[in-house]
Structure 1
Amino acid sequence: MSKILDKAKQWLTATFDTETQQEIQQLIETNSSDLDDRFYKDMEFGTGGMRGIMGAGTNRINKYTLGRATQGLSNYLIENVKKEQLKVVIAYDCRHNSKKFAKTVADVFSANNIKVFLFEDLRATPELSFAVKHLGCDAGIVLTASHNPPEYNGYKVYWADGGQIVPPHDSGIIGNVNTLEFSEIKFNANEDLIEIIGKDVDDAFIEASVKNGKISNQVDRKNLKIVFTSLHGTSIVSVPDALAKAGYTDVHIVEEQREPNGDFPTVKSPNPEEPEALKMATDLANKIDADIVIGTDPDCDRLGVAVRDLDGNMKLMNGNQTMVVMTEFLLKKWKEEGKINGNQFVGSTIVSTELVNQVAASYGVETNVALTGFKWIAKMIRDNPSKDFIGGGEESFGYMVGDFVRDKDAVTATLLACEVAALAKQNGSSFYEELLNIYVRNNFYKEHLISITKKGMDGAAEIQQMLSDMRSNPVLEIDGEKVATLSDYDSSIQKNLITVKETAIDLPKSNVLIYQTENGTRVAARPSGTEPKIKFYFSVNAPLDKIENAEKVEAELDAKIQRIIKEMKLN
C-alpha cells in the first residue's frame, strides 16, 4: 500500500494539472479503495492496444497516460524511421473525451516535429487504417474503446502498412514508453503541423470499400430490405453512404440509435455480439419484414448480422458463422473468375471455428491461423507479400475483405454480408440456408463463448491462477471424450496427452490454452487483452445429413456444450 501511495503522491506535483491533483488528493484523503486499482500498475498494450477506464492514475486513460504513450511512440519513430518529415494520422470515435484526447495526442506529435493529419470529427476505425496508407503516413492512432462500457476509452496504434503494431515495433514502443517520466511529455503543440482532414479521405475510403465489398455484378440490390443500426457509434458516418453507393436502396436505420452518444443510452452494452444490443433493430426488421439486420460496434470494426431462419424468425449469427458464409462466398467468386492458383490464403485465429479451414481447403486454398487479434491477420499479409489475401475473420464478429484495410472492417463486411443475402434471395435461398448447406457439406459446427469478469488487482491474480491450475492439472476427458492434445501457447508446446509426444507451436507466445478431444471437441481459455475477463471458447461438431435436421442437430450440440460447461464448473 505504501508503494501505491508514494506513486499516487507523484501525481500531486507540478507536472500534473490542478484538476488531476485535486482528483488524486481527494482519493488519498478519503482513503479510497479505488486508489489501489488506479496505481497498482501502468496501463498496458493488449490485443487491441491500450484500453481502460478514464480517470487520473497510471492505470487509467487520461491526458498523461495517453501523452506518455504518444511521446514514447514519437521517440521510437524518430529513432527508427529515418525520414525528414514523419507523418501520422489520428481518428477518434463517439466516446466521452475522445475528441479532446485526439487533440492532446495531436499536440504531442506536433510538439515532436511530426506532421499530423487529424480527422475533423468522429470516424470509423477501418477508415483510420485505410488513411494510414492512403496518406503515406508512418503511423496512425485511433482513440476508441471499441464495445467496452461508457466509462472506458482507449488508444490503438497502427504502423505504416495500416495494421496494428506487432513485434518488433510493439515491444520497441512500449520500451520507450516505460522509460519515460511524465515530466518528459511535450504537450506544447506546433499548430502549423496539424492538418484537419475529412471528406476527401471519406470519399476515397467509401469508394475502396464498395470496390472490395460489392462482389458480384449479378446481384439485385434493390430487392434486399436491410435494417441497420450504428448503436450510437461512428458507423453512421460511413455505412449508410457505402450501402447507397453500392446500390442498396431499401435501407432502414434504427432512428433511436442513430445519434452518436458515448452513454449508449438504449443498450446495456454497445456490443453487436449481444442479441439484446440488436433488439431494437430486430424488432424493426419484424415490423417491416426485413431480410437482414446489420449492427456495428461504436468504432465500426465489428458487425453483428441477424437473418431469417428456416421458420422466418430473425436469428443473430455468431462471428464464426458469419465468417464461414462470407469466406465461402469470396472463395466461390474467386473460383468462378479462375483466380485460384494455389497462391491464395484466408486468415483465421486460434480460437475461431476450424470449419473455415475446411471450407478453404475444399477450394484448394490454405488457411493461415494466427493468435487472437486482427493485428496478427494484418501481419500475415505483411509476411506474405507475394500471396493473395482473399479475406479473413475471427470469432469476435470481425471480418476483413482483401487488404486495402489492415484491420477488421465493418463497413466493407456489411456490404459483403448484404451481397451474400441479396444473391441468395434472388436464387431462392437465404443467408441462413447458405450456412446450413456448408454444414451439410462439412459438419454442423457450434461454438459458444463464456466470459467471466474479474475486476481489479485481485481479479487479475484470480485469472492467472485459473489458467495456472488448468496447466498444472490438465483435463483428461471432456464430455466422455478423451482429450487428445493440450496446446499451451505460453510455452509454445502442443502435448499429445495420449502418446505424450510434444510438438513446437510456431507462433508468438500468448497466454492461451486449448484442449482438443479425439472427436474434435475444443475448449480454449485465455485472458481478454482489453477487458478484466477470462474467456472460455467451446466448439463442438456433428454430421448434418440434410437441412431439415438442422434444428435437431443444433439442439444436441447446444446440450453438449452445456454439459461441458457444467462439467468444468463454469456456470
Structure 2
Amino acid sequence: MKDILDKAKLWLTPTFDTETQTEIQELINGNPDALTDRFYKNMEFGTGGMRGVMGAGTNRINKYTLGRATQGLSNYLIENVKKEQLSVVIAFDCRHNSKKFAKVVANILSANNIKVFLFEDLRATPELSFAVRHLNCDAGIVLTASHNPPEYNGYKVYWADGGQIVPPHDGGIISKVNDLDFSEINFNAKEELIEVIGKDVDDAFIDGSVKNGCLSDDINRDNLKIVFTSLHGTSIVSVPDALAKAGYSDVHIVEEQREPNGDFPTVKSPNPEEPEALKMATDLANKIGADIVIGTDPDCDRLGVAIRDLDGNMKLMNGNQTMVVMTEFLLKKWKEEGKINGNQFVGSTIVSTELVNKSAASYGVATKVGLTGFKWIAKMIRDHESMDFIGGGEESFGYMIGDFVRDKDAVTATLLACEVAAYAKQNGSSFYEELLNIYLRNNFYKEHLISIVKKGMDGAAEIQQMLSDMRNNPLTEIDGEKIETLSDYEASTRKNLITGEVTNIDLPKSNVLIYQTASGTRIAARPSGTEPKIKFYFSVNSSLDSTNNAEATEVELDAKIQRIIKELKLN
C-alpha cells in the first residue's frame, strides 16, 4: 500500500491541475481500494494505443495519461520522420470527454510544432484512417473506446499508410512514452497549427466508400428494405449518407437510437455482436417487413447484420458468417470480371473461421492469416504491395474492402452487405441462402465466443494463470476427438501432439493458444487487448447435404460446442 500511496501523492504536486489533485486527495482520505486500482499499474500505451476507464490516476484515461502518450508520439515523429512540417489528423467519437480529450491531444501536438487537422465533430474511425492518407499526414489519432461501457475511453494511433501502428514504429513509440515523466508534457498549444476540418474530407470519404462498397450497376437497390441503427454512435453522420448516395432509398433508421449519446441509454452494451443491442432494430424490421438490419458500434468500425432465415425470421449473423458471405461475393465479382490471376489475396486472423480460407482457395485466391486485429491486415497490404488485396475480416464483426481504408470499416461494409442482400433478392435468393450455399460447397462451420471477465489486479493474475495452465498442461482430447496440434503464439511454435513434431510460427509473438483436431474442431484462448477478459473461441464443422437440413445441422454443431464448454468447465 505504501508504494501505491507514494505514486498517488505525486499526483498532488503542481504538475497536475487542482481538479485532479482534489480527486486523488479524496481517494487517499477515504477509498483505499479505488486508490489501489487507479495506481497499481500504469495505463499501458500498447501496440495500438490504450483503452480504459476515465478518471485521475496512472491506470486511468485522463489528460495526463493521454498527454504522456501524445508527447511520446510527438518525440518519436520528430526524431524519425524527416520532414519540414510534420502533420497529424485527429478524430473522436460520441463518448464522454472525447471532444475535450481530442483538443488536449491537438494542443500537445501543436506545442511540439506539429500541424494538426482536427475534425470539427464526431466522425467514424474508418474516416480517420482514410483521412491520414487523403491529407498526406504522418500519423493519425482517434479518441474512442469502441463498444466498451460508457465509463471507458481510449486512444488509437495510425501511421502514414492509414493502418494502426505496427513494428517497428509501435515499439519505438512505446519506448518514447515510457521514458517520459508527466512533467515533460507540453500542453502549451500553438493554435495557428490547428486546422479544423469537416465536409471536404467527409465528401471524399463517402465517395470512396460508395466506389468500393457498390460493385455492380445491375443491382436494384430500390427493392431492398433496410433498417439501420447507429446505437447512439458516430455512424449516424456517415452511413445514411453513404446508403443514399449509393442509391438505397428504402432505409428506416431506429429513431430512439439515432442521437449520439455516450451513455448509450437504450442498450446494456453498444455492441452489435449482442442480439439484445439490435433488438429495437429487429423489432422495427419485423414491423415493416424489412429484408436486412444493420447496426454499428459507437466508432463505426464494426457492424452487426441480421437477415431473414428460411422461415422468414430475423437471424443475427455472427462476424464469421458475415465475412464469409461478403468475401465470397467479392471473389465472385472479381472472377466474373476476369481479374483473378493468382496475384490476389484476402486477409483473415488466427481466431477467425477457416471457412473463408476454403472459400478463397476455391477461387484460386490465397488467404493471408495474421494475429487478431486489423492492423495486421493493413500490414499485409503494405508488405505485399505488388498483390491485389480483395478484402478481409475477422470474427469480431469487422470487415474491410480494398485498401482505401486501412482498418475495419462499417461504412463500406454496410454498403457491401446491402449489395449482397439486394443482388440475392433480385435473383430469387437471400443473404442467408447465399451463406447456406457456401456451407453446401465447403462444410457447415459454426463458431462461438465466450468472454470471462476478471477485473483488477487479481483478475489479471487469474487470466495469466488460466493461460499458463492451458499451455503447460495441454488438453489431449476435445469432445472425444484427439487433439492434433497445439499452436502457442507466445512461443511461436506449433506442436503435433500425436507425432511430437514442432514447427515454427512466422508471426509476431502473442499470448494466444489454439488447439485443433484433424477434423478442424478448434479452441482458441487469448486475453482481451482492451478489456479485463479472457476470450475462448470455438469452431466446429460438419458436412451439409441439403439446405433443408441446415437447421438440424446447426443444432448438432451448437450441441457439440456446448459439450466442449462443459468439458472445459467454462459454464
Q: Name the TM tier (shorter chain).
A: over 0.9
SS at match of 1:110: helix
Match of 1:129 in 2: 129
In 2, the alpha carbon distance for the partners of 1:4 and 1:41 equals 9
Contact 1:63–1:101, Cα closer than 8 Å, also in 2: yes
Contact 2:393 2:400 in 1 (8 A): yes
Partner of residue 312, structure 2: 312
- CA displacement at 1:31 relative to structure 2: 3.8
1:201 maps to amino acid:
V
State the alpha-carbon separation in 1 of the partners of residues 101 and 136 from structure 2.
Answer: 23
Q: Work out the CA distance in 1 between the residues paired with 2:483 and 2:556.
A: 20
Contact map agreement 1:48 1:530 (CA 8 A) in 2: no
Matching residue of 2:370? 370
Q: Is contact 2:48–2:170 with CA below 8 Å preserved after alignment?
A: no
In the alignment, the residues of structure 2 paired with residue 419 and residue 46 of structure 1 have an alpha-carbon distance, to the nearest angstrom, of: 37
Tell me the equivalent position of 1:298.
298
* One-letter amino acid matched to 1:315: K
1:514 maps to which residue? 514
**The residue matched to 2:32 in structure 1 has which SS?**
coil
| Cα pair distance change 1:47/1:528, threshold 3 Å | farther
The SS at the match of 2:103 is: helix
Contact 1:48 1:529 in 2 (8 A): no
> Is the CA contact (8 Å cut-off) linking 1:150 and 1:264 kept in structure 2?
yes
Q: 2:322 matched to 1:322? A: yes
Map of 1:7 onto structure 2: 7
Question: Which structure 2 residues correspond to residues 12-411 of structure 1 after superposition, within 5 A?
Answer: 12-46=12-46, 49-411=49-411
C-alpha displacement of 1:254: 0.1
After TM superposition, give the deviation of residue 37 of structure 1 in Å. Answer: 1.3
Matched AA of 1:241: D
Gap regions ≥5 residues in structure 2? none
Structure-2 separation of matches of 1:461 and 1:404: 40
- So what's the TM-score if we normalise by structure 2? 1.00
Q: In structure 2, the residue corresponding to 1:147 is in which secondary structure?
A: coil
Query: How far apart are 1:68 and its partner, in Å?
Result: 0.4
**Alignment-mate amino acid for residue 109 of structure 1:** L
Offset at residue 48 of structure 1 (A):
5.1
**2:219 aligned counterpart, secondary structure:** coil
Counterpart in the other structure of 1:474: 474
Distance 1:186 1:41 in 2: 23
Give 1:176 shift.
0.2
Question: Which consecutive residues of structure 1, in runs of 5 or more, have no partner in the other structure?
Answer: none
1:224–1:47 distance in 2 versus 1, CA, 3 Å: farther
CA distance change for structure 1 residues 352 and 143 in 2, over 3 Å: closer, same or farther? same
Give the corresponding residue for 2:528: 528
3-state DSSP of counterpart to 2:195: strand
Deviation at 1:411, TM superposition (A): 0.1
Once the two structures are TM-superposed, the CA of residue 45 in structure 1 deviates from its matched residue by 3.6
Bigger Cα displacement from structure 2, 40-49 vs 376-385: 40-49
AA aligned to 1:459 is G
How far is 1:47 from its partner?
Answer: 6.4
Q: Distance in 1 between matches of 2:332 and 2:67?
A: 47
Alpha-carbon separation, structure 2, partners of 1:434 and 1:46: 39
Alpha-carbon distance, 1:32 to partner: 2.5
Per-residue displacement from partner, 1:243-296 (whole Å, max 9, x unpaired)? Answer: 000000000000000000000000000000000000000000000000000000
Residue 42 of structure 1: how far off its partner (Å): 1.1
Query: For the residues of structure 2 that align with 1:343 and 1:3, how far apart are their CA atoms?
Result: 57
Instruction: Tell whether the 8 Å contact from 1:88 to 1:137 is kept in structure 2 after alignment.
Output: yes
Structure 2 residue matching 1:369: 3-state secondary structure:
strand
How far did 1:393 drift?
0.1
The 8 Å contact of residues 47 and 372 in structure 1, kept in 2 or not, is answered as no
What SS does the aligned partner of 1:322 have?
helix
Give the TM-score of the pair, scaled to structure 1. 1.00
2:146 counterpart SS class = coil
Cα RMSD (Å) of the superposition?
A: 0.6
SS of the residue 1:470 aligns to: helix
Q: What is the one-letter code of the residue matched to 1:186?
A: N
1:343 Cα deviation (Å)?
0.4
- Residues in 2 aligned to 1:564 and 1:117: alpha-carbon distance in whole angstroms: 50
Percent identical pairs in the alignment equals 86
Q: Secondary structure at the match of 1:128?
A: helix
What is aligned with 2:417? Answer: 417
Aligned AA (2:565): I
Contact 1:446 1:539 (8 Å CA) reproduced: yes
Is the 8 Å Cα contact of residues 319 and 398 (structure 1) preserved in structure 2? yes
Distance 1:439 1:240 in 2: 32
Q: Which amino acid aligns with 2:122?
A: L
Quote the residue 1:558 is aligned against. Answer: 558
Matched to 2:78, the amino acid is: I
Q: How many residues align?
A: 571
Shift of 1:46: 4.4
Residue-by-residue CA offset, 1:191-232 (whole Å, 9 max, x unaligned): 000000000000000000000000111100000000000000
Q: C-alpha deviations, 1:386-420, integer Å up to 9, x for none? A: 00000000000000000000000000000000000
For the residues of structure 2 that align with 1:46 and 1:282, how far apart are their CA atoms? Answer: 37
Tell me the SS of whatever aligns to 2:428.
Answer: coil
CA offset at residue 41 of structure 1? Answer: 1.1
Q: Distance in 1 between matches of 2:553 and 2:367?
A: 27
- Please give the alpha-carbon distance, in whole angstroms, between the structure 2 residues aligned to 1:361 and 1:420: 20
Cα distance between partner residues in 2 of 1:459 and 1:531: 11
